[in-house]
């Protein structure tokens, strides 16, 4: 068993590998974000018997780049009555938590480089899951501030809705995860992947089916995707919290939405589907699982109508929360008595 | 390495103090609230550097993630601007006095109290080995089980009270 590479035994190799890992993960996430927009338009187009983008490049493959360039060269409007600092901060405060959450997700086992074991994960925290929950809690500031700072009633209503929604569903999502780490006995994502590393039947989706369903649904609500996209319900709120935004700032909101989708997919894959376990190399397995969940989210968007606001609150507090608590009680009983 | 750690400490301490000052000095209450979130975040960084990652995560989850969101929520709905600050001049005087007393207490503790070294079996080597979360869990559910349960009952009472207050007519 080779020694684990750390800052003390080979600082230069450690730092350069760390930078390489961060850069690789960042580039992969950005690429998926760009092509998720393309995939979403293509898939939803097909599901609605349309073609989706076809004109830009072969099969419309250059569409994300064209969209990016278009947004980049648009005029950047800051409303005169807005609160400048909060208006500028909001898009960053929504994008940064989404991106830094990826840091704790393991995308493979250990590889041996120059006699040292290097984990395929940016960093393994003792409190991995809590870190994810903490960052998810910070993400709501972006939406709330964007809504408030725009000084427009549509934005404010979108922001308030979002705050209420995220707080309600964060609770249920957190309680659903508790059942997982009651089984694994660790908060570190590496530990949780290791606990599922036996056969496919060891994946927590089989021992925690209720927690899996709860987590997928509640995190769908937490990242404001259809059918829970009330903060940007275009029929009643124009575009919700990002109504007043334009140019690159609007693009940041868009990127954050897709980055959040990737993060949620990756977390679900790690907690319930064994993370990088599977027939191929670690990162490819994880990517396949992430793509599966993203396809599922797009599929859901093409299928379900938006829920009403009172239904949303009813489901969050009176259905998902009690179910998550029940799941914890059952898991506790099983862990103690069996 | 030592120098780097020291530089990092001073950088974070500087940001903490500046954002702490912004909480008090900002005209706009929402900007104060954002600065307070920043202060909480810096405190969490201090917890991490003190080998207390669990405290750091809880600090961000509870204070930055839950309490401050609710405070901002209320501020957004009330939308009161700088005029409130002007109306509450006497509160500023009170806060200054309180801060002065607090600083005096800290100075006295630092000068005469026992703040040097680690007392008891828990030290940073042990935290490194067992894990901070595990240590807190063990202490909470063995030695401090009774206070823990009392705190839960207290919270339950608060929840029931909130429901009673909110749902008077039902």
Of A131, A133, A140, the CB nearest to B69: A140
pLDDT in the model for residue A85: 80
Catalogue all structural domains in chain B, each as residue range(s) with its CATH number: 1-102 (1.20.120.1200), 123-170 (no CATH)
**Apex B142 CA angle, B121 and B129, nearest 5:** 40
**Pick the residue with more confidence: A330 or A84?**
A330
User: What is the distance in angstroms between the Cα of B66 and the nearest Cα belonging to chain A?
Assistant: 7
Res A110 pLDDT > 80:
no
> Which residue, among A218, A225, A220, has the nearest Cα to A323 in the 3D structure?
A218
Q: How far is CA A323 from CA A177, A215, A319, in A?
A: 12, 11, 6
Are A130 and B54 an interchain contact pair (Cβ–Cβ within 8 Å)? Answer: yes
Per-residue pLDDT tens for A13-58? 888 888 888 898 889 988 888 888 888 888 888 888 888 888 887 8
Of A125, A133, A164, the CB nearest to B53: A125
Rounded to whole angstroms, how far apart are CA atoms A93 and B33? 14
User: What is the distance in angstroms between the Cα of B5 and the nearest Cα belonging to chain A?
Assistant: 13
Report which secondary-structure segment, H or E, holds B99: helix B89-112
Rounded to whole angstroms, how far apart are CA atoms A77 and B72? 25
Interface size, chain A vs chain B, as Cβ–Cβ contacts under 8 Å: 79
With a CB-CB cutoff of 8 Å, which residues 20-39 of chain B face chain A? 28, 30-31, 34, 37
Which of B52, B65, B81, B138 is the best mutation test for A, with the most CBs of A within 10 A? B65
Res A118 pLDDT > 80:
no
Per-residue pLDDT tens for A138-164? 888 888 888 888 877 788 888 888 878
Q: How far is CA A35 from CA A48, A68, A253, A255, in A?
A: 20, 11, 16, 11
pLDDT in the model for residue B68: 85
pLDDT in the model for residue B133: 80
pLDDT in the model for residue A76: 79
A118 touches A11 (CB < 8 A): no
Average of per-residue pLDDT across A193-210: 82
Q: What is the DSSP string of A60-120?
A: GTTHHHHHHHHHHHS-----TTS-HHHHHHHHHHHHHHHHHHGGG---S-EEEETTEEEES
A interface with B, Cβ–Cβ < 8 A, is 83, 85-86, 89, 125-127, 130-131, 133-138, 140-141, 144-145, 147-149, 156, 159-160, 163-164, 166-167, 170, 187
Are B60 and A86 an interchain contact pair (Cβ–Cβ within 8 Å)? Answer: no
pLDDT band at A72 (very low <50, low <70, confident <90, very high): confident
Average of per-residue pLDDT across B89-103: 86
A277 touches A195 (CB < 8 A): no
Residues 6+ apart with CB under 8 A from A186: A192, A195
**Pick the residue with more confidence: B75 or A258?**
A258
Res B115 pLDDT > 70:
no
Q: What is the DSSP string of A283-322?
A: HHHHHHHHHHHHHHHHHHHHHPPPPPHHHHHHIIIIIIHH
B167 touches B161 (CB < 8 A): no
**Pick the residue with more confidence: A101 or B90?**
A101
User: What is the distance in angstroms between the Cα of B160 and the nearest Cα belonging to chain A?
Assistant: 15
Are B65 and A89 an interchain contact pair (Cβ–Cβ within 8 Å)? Answer: no
pLDDT in the model for residue A139: 81
The token pair at B120 is 């008891």
Q: How far is CA B101 from CA A76, A166, B75, B106, in A?
A: 49, 39, 29, 9
Of B34, B54, B60, the CB nearest to A89: B34
pLDDT band at B170 (very low <50, low <70, confident <90, very high): low
Of A138, A148, A170, the CB nearest to B30: A148
pLDDT in the model for residue B13: 92
Average of per-residue pLDDT across A217-244: 77
What beta strand segments (E) does A20-153 contain? 110-113, 116-119
Which of A129, A134, A139, A313 is the best mutation test for B, with the most CBs of B within 10 A? A134
Instruction: Give B-chain residues touching A86 at CB under 8 angstroms.
Output: 30-31, 34
pLDDT in the model for residue B18: 92
The pLDDT mean for chain B works out to 82
Lowest-pLDDT choice from A102-111, A259-268, B156-165: A102-111
Burial group, residue A79, by CB count within 10 angstroms (0-12, 13-18, 19+)? middle
Instruction: Give A-chain residues touching B77 at CB under 8 angstroms.
Output: 160
Burial group, residue A283, by CB count within 10 angstroms (0-12, 13-18, 19+)? middle
Are A130 and B64 an interchain contact pair (Cβ–Cβ within 8 Å)? Answer: no
Average of per-residue pLDDT across A76-92: 81
Instruction: Give A-chain residues touching B69 at CB under 8 angstroms.
Output: 137, 140-141, 144, 163, 166-167
Which of A137, A181, A182 is the best mutation test for B, with the most CBs of B within 10 A? A137
pLDDT band at B79 (very low <50, low <70, confident <90, very high): low
Residues 6+ apart with CB under 8 A from A275: A105, A106, A107, A189, A192, A193, A196, A269, A286
With a CB-CB cutoff of 8 Å, which residues 112-131 of chain B face chain A? 131
The pLDDT mean for chain A works out to 83
The token pair at A208 is 């925690």
Instruction: Give A-chain residues touching B56 at CB under 8 angstroms.
Output: 127
Res B86 pLDDT > 90:
no
Res B83 pLDDT > 60:
no
User: What is the distance in angstroms between the Cα of B162 and the nearest Cα belonging to chain A?
Assistant: 15
Of B34, B61, B65, the CB nearest to A86: B34
The token pair at B49 is 């550097």
The token pair at B2 is 């030592």
Are B58 and A137 an interchain contact pair (Cβ–Cβ within 8 Å)? Answer: no
pLDDT band at A74 (very low <50, low <70, confident <90, very high): confident
Instruction: Give B-chain residues touching A89 at CB under 8 angstroms.
Output: 34
Lowest-pLDDT choice from A142-146, B32-36, B84-88, B160-164: B84-88
pLDDT in the model for residue B11: 92
**Apex A205 CA angle, B66 and A300, nearest 5:** 70
Report which secondary-structure segment, H or E, holds B17: helix B2-25
pTM above 0.80, yes or no: yes
Instruction: Give A-chain residues touching B65 at CB under 8 angstroms.
Output: 133-134, 136-138, 140, 170
Lowest-pLDDT choice from A40-49, A280-289, B97-106: A280-289
Q: In DSSP terms, which residues pair with A3 in a beta bridge?
A: A116
pLDDT band at B95 (very low <50, low <70, confident <90, very high): confident
> Which residue, among B25, B11, B1, has the nearest Cα to B92 in the 3D structure?
B25
């Amino acid at each position: 068993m080779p020694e684990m590479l750390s800052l003390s035994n080979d600082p230069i190799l450690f730092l350069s590998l760390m930078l390489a890992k961060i850069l690789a993960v960042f580039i992969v996430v950005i690429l998926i974000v760009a092509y998720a927009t393309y995939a979403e338009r293509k898939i939803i187009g097909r599901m609605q018997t349309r073609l989706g983008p076809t004109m830009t490049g072969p099969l419309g493959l250059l569409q994300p780049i064209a969209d990016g360039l278009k947004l980049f060269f648009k005029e950047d409007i800051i409303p005169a009555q807005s609160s400048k600092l909060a208006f500028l901060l909001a898009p960053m405060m929504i994008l940064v938590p989404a991106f830094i959450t990826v840091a704790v997700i393991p995308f493979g086992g250990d590889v041996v480089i120059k006699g040292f074991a290097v984990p395929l994960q940016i960093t393994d925290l003792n409190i991995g899951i809590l870190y994810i929950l903490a960052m998810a809690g910070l993400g709501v500031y972006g939406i709330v501030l964007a809504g408030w700072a725009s000084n427009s009633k549509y934005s404010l209503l979108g922001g308030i809705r979002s705050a209420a929604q995220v707080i309600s569903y964060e609770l249920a999502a957190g309680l659903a995860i508790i059942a997982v780490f009651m089984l694994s006995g660790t908060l570190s994502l590496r530990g949780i992947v290791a606990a599922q590393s036996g056969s496919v039947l060891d994946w927590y989706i089989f021992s925690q089916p209720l927690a899996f369903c709860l987590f997928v649904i509640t995190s769908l609500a937490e990242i404001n995707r259809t059918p829970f996209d009330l903060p940007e319900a275009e029929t009643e709120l124009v575009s919700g919290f990002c109504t007043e935004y334009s140019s690159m700032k609007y693009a940041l909101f868009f990127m954050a939405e897709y980055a959040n989708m990737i993060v949620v997919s990756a977390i679900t894959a790690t907690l319930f589907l064994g993370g990088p376990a599977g027939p191929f190399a670690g990162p490819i397995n994880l990517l396949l699982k992430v793509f599966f969940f993203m396809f599922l989210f797009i599929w859901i968007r093409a299928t379900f109508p938006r829920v009403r606001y009172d239904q949303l609150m009813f489901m969050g507090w009176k259905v998902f929360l009690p179910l998550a608590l029940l799941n914890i009680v059952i898991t506790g009983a099983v862990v103690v008595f069996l | 390495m030592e120098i780097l750690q020291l530089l990092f400490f001073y950088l974070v301490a500087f940001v903490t103090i500046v954002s702490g000052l912004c909480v008090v000095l900002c005209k706009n209450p929402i900007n104060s609230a954002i600065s307070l979130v920043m202060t909480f975040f810096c405190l969490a960084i201090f917890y991490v550097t003190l080998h207390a990652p669990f405290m750091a995560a809880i600090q961000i989850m509870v204070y930055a993630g839950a309490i401050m969101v609710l405070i901002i929520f209320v501020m957004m709905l009330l939308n009161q601007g700088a005029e409130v600050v002007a109306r509450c001049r006497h509160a500023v005087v009170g806060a200054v006095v309180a801060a002065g007393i607090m600083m005096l207490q800290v100075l006295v503790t630092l000068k005469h109290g026992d703040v040097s070294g680690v007392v008891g079996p828990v030290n940073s080597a042990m935290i490194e080995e067992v894990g901070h979360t595990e240590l807190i869990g063990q202490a909470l559910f063995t030695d401090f089980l009774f206070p823990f349960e009392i705190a839960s009952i207290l919270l339950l009472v608060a929840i029931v009270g909130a429901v009673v207050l909110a749902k008077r007519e039902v």
